[in-house]
Amino acid sequence: MKTVIVIFGIFLTGCFLVGQQKNDEAEKDKEFFLLIEKSKQTQEVNKVAIQAADKKTSEIITNTANQIVSLKAEVKQLKSELNEANKKLDSIDAPISNVKFDLLPVSTGKENW
């Protein structure tokens, strides 16, 4: 019986000493899970940043489109005013000087764009 107890005691001591040693695999697994957690946090931060950037981009696109529309209307108005001024100048019969001016109308189409 003493032999069984001694063998059992040696076995328990051996198990205790082996169980207390650090396992390299466990350390690697722990580092791996920490990296995964950091990756998830980074993905969440990036998700928020991308949403903010998309919102700002859509605002810029909307503002730019509105500005283009207003500038097109202004160009159209200026072309019509210039054509009216050309017609008035062409309708004057008396020459102001010896130089003859040949004024061409500004086109309203998109071929000059």
**Mean model confidence pLDDT for the chain:** 82
Q: State which amino acid sits at residue 75.
A: V
Phi (first) and psi of residue 104, to 5 degrees: -100, 145
CA-based Rg of the chain, rounded to a whole angstrom?
43
- Sign of the dihedral defined by the CA atoms of residues 40, 41, 43, 47, in that order: positive
Tens of pLDDT, residues 38-93? 999 999 999 999 999 999 999 999 999 999 999 999 999 999 999 998 888 777 76
Which residue has better confidence, 83 or 20? 83
Q: What number is the average pLDDT over the span 7-16?
A: 70
Residue 56 tokens read as: 């700002």
pTM exceeds cut of 0.75: no
Tokens of 70: 């207003």
Coil, strand or helix: which one is 58?
helix
